[in-house]
Amino acid sequence: MLGKILIANRGEIAVRVIRTCREMGIATVAVYSDLDRDALHVRAADEAYAIGGEAAAESYLNTGAVLDALERSGADAVHPGYGFFSENADFARRIGEAGVTFIGPSPEAMEQMGDKISARLAADRAGVVGVPGRTEPVTDPAEIAAFGDEYGWPVAIKAAFGGGGRGMKLVATPEEAAASMESAQREAQAYFGRPEVYLEKYLAWPRHIEMQVIADTHGNAVWLGERDCSCQRRHQKLIEESPAPGLPGAVRTAMGEAAVKVALACGYVNAGTIEFLYQDGEFFFLEMNTRLQVEHPVTELVTGLDLVEWQIRIASGEPLGFRQEDVRCDGHAIECRINAEDPAGGRFLPSPGKISRLVPPGGPGVRLDAGYASGDTVSQFYDNLVGKLVVWAGDRDAARRRMLRALGEMEVAGIATTIPADRAILEHEDFIEGRHSTRWVEEKLDLSAIAGPQPQPEVDGDAGTGEDRSLREVTAEVDGRRYALRLWVPNADADADAGPRTTQRPRRRDNPGRKVAGSGASSGHVTVPMQGTIVKVMIAKGDTVTAGQAICVLEAMKMENTIAADVAGTVTDVRVTAGDAVGPGDVVAVIE
């Protein structure tokens, strides 16, 4: 058995791996960037090594620094978590060359599944049908027109090396083909370092259902049930559950067997996930993730298995201790992702910052896998997943109600989170009835009533409706009973009756952190709502602009946000250029 494991990751997944190691009596080594010196995963580990840097490329993706920490610590294995190096075959090879165990599949299996085109070919060889589409890069817009005529419009152009919900573009008509192809290639090169794009039929109303598999070095491979991850925004998952509601047993078995076939065909070892799109009773291979998934806990709760423990056992050379017929899935598990994002109005804007208070929920059937605690800061440089709330209950509706109860108990202050969106999903009739699809959150769910973030507990502002109102939270006693009231007060009234409270209650213009991207102060000072980097400036001094016109693009937490003018006029000052780092409230341009 392995004796000491270095976790080449941060946040909740590093903490998650450390927890199982501790239960198994295995020593743990954390690595940390300059920003993570006091992070939860560092506090949780037995030892920790600085790898320097802030941005991922300088720190958690710095091969030399991680290898150096590995050598200094004397760890005999590396757990990559997800993201960062987890699907990087070169990194896995370097680990192997250093005589250290990589807790994951072989570099060759990673390479086969590493890009979407070769993964489609591998699935095809295993006899598993993919989403209708091509298995070679598209280079001629005429191919797109022909494909659309054959399979219907819109057509999906996907980056072969894409990931993280980015890299898919829809083409609605043949006329758009050339421009869309070029822009997809350009984006693929910019985001993933490779320009190859290919075509897939765009399924209109699919569910995202994926199969957990696990395989050992002795030729055993089993499937551990599915996860339904159809609640997504920007093609990124928000809520996952197991089992998938309404999935017929025969389809589940066929999907599980298909997943095992794909795994065996690429010589897969360790835990992996085969993703499918499911529509009208049919399922289609989407891609394989050759690592632990964010949403693995729902599988753990229904199977009773610790997937990290089995990853470690398999990497140590142990055979799987169970066969397919031994796998039992009981009850129902749901996971909600708690991201530092403001879901007001369905915009899901990044909301980095200091968590002034985090109160975890408790009680029966509740598990919180978090990467942060009260007082920790969510940096704009990394993924904004604060943690995952996971519940188990005997059936789906009991799990759903338990999750709502747990979300109600959970308190996160100082940053906005996806909790209000998670609640809205769980309470919606379409979700309850299992009528949702991967497009449902963005197309059907109405998040307009969700208020904006509350950077200060006693004060808030923009209700997310664009109206000039402030949210105030007050407590009141009525007949001896205490009530917590949330009041949306028109700003004029709020100012008129503000009195001495104005000293405690910053006015809207003093707190630009609440404004959403796409708006600026009506004074003509266009400000950015959050910390980030300017990637593009679209206007110059002297330009005439209209209200709503794009001024610049701000990248924060791996998301691009367009900052727009909210008044018309002439640009008299431009205060940023591409590459500049900005903070909340910084003025980027002045319009008169």
Q: Point out which residues bind ligand ADP (CB under 6 A).
A: 131, 156, 162-168, 200-203, 206, 208, 232, 235, 275, 277, 286-287, 438
Residue recorded with tokens 């679209």? 538
Residue 144 vs 563, nearer CB to ligand ADP: 144
CB of 558: closest distance to ligand ADP in angstroms? 12
Residue 82 vs 322, nearer CB to ligand ADP: 82
CB of 163: closest distance to ligand ADP in angstroms? 4
User: Is 358:373 a contact under the CB 8 Å cutoff?
Assistant: yes
Listed residue (61, 81, 73, 82) closest to 100, CA to CA = 73
Residue 198 vs 372, nearer CB to ligand ADP: 198
E strand or H helix at 311, and its extent? helix 307-315
User: Is 67:78 a contact under the CB 8 Å cutoff?
Assistant: no
Residue 71's CB is within 10 A of a number of other CB atoms, namely: 13
How far apart are alpha carbons 320 and 216 in whole angstroms? 6
CB of 202: closest distance to ligand ADP in angstroms? 4
Which phi and psi (to 5°) does residue 459 adopt?
A: -135, 150
Which phi and psi (to 5°) does residue 507 adopt?
A: -80, 165
CB of 156: closest distance to ligand ADP in angstroms? 4
Amino acid at 372: Y
Residue 22 vs 235, nearer CB to ligand ADP: 235
Residue 452's CB is within 10 A of a number of other CB atoms, namely: 25
CB of 255: closest distance to ligand ADP in angstroms? 15
CB of 203: closest distance to ligand ADP in angstroms? 4
Residue 152 vs 319, nearer CB to ligand ADP: 152
368: helix, strand or coil: strand
CB of 307: closest distance to ligand ADP in angstroms? 20
35: helix, strand or coil: helix
375: helix, strand or coil: coil
127: helix, strand or coil: coil
Q: Are strands 341-342 and 349-350 parallel, antiparallel or unpaired?
A: antiparallel
Which residues make Cβ contacts (< 8 Å) with residue 106, sequence separation at least 6? 92, 267, 269
Residue 165 vs 375, nearer CB to ligand ADP: 165
Nearest-Å Rg of the Cα atoms of the chain is 25
Residue 106 vs 289, nearer CB to ligand ADP: 289
CB of 328: closest distance to ligand ADP in angstroms? 27
The burial of 458, by beta-carbon neighbours within 10 Å (0-12 exposed, 13-18 middle, 19 or more buried), is given as: exposed
Residue 83 vs 361, nearer CB to ligand ADP: 83
User: Is 398:390 a contact under the CB 8 Å cutoff?
Assistant: no
CB of 381: closest distance to ligand ADP in angstroms? 20
Residue 84 vs 202, nearer CB to ligand ADP: 202
Residue recorded with tokens 């494909």? 147
Residue 83 vs 532, nearer CB to ligand ADP: 83
Residue 437 vs 470, nearer CB to ligand ADP: 437
User: Is 302:332 a contact under the CB 8 Å cutoff?
Assistant: yes
CB of 193: closest distance to ligand ADP in angstroms? 15
The burial of 324, by beta-carbon neighbours within 10 Å (0-12 exposed, 13-18 middle, 19 or more buried), is given as: middle
Which phi and psi (to 5°) does residue 215 adopt?
A: -135, 145
Q: Is the dihedral of CA 427, 430, 435, 437 positive or negative?
A: negative
First to last CA, the chain: 69
CB of 160: closest distance to ligand ADP in angstroms? 10
Residue 167 vs 529, nearer CB to ligand ADP: 167
- Tell me the residue nearest to ligand ADP as measured from the CB: 438
CB of 168: closest distance to ligand ADP in angstroms? 6
- For 78-92, letters b (16+ CB in 10 Å) and e give bbbbbbbbbbbbebb
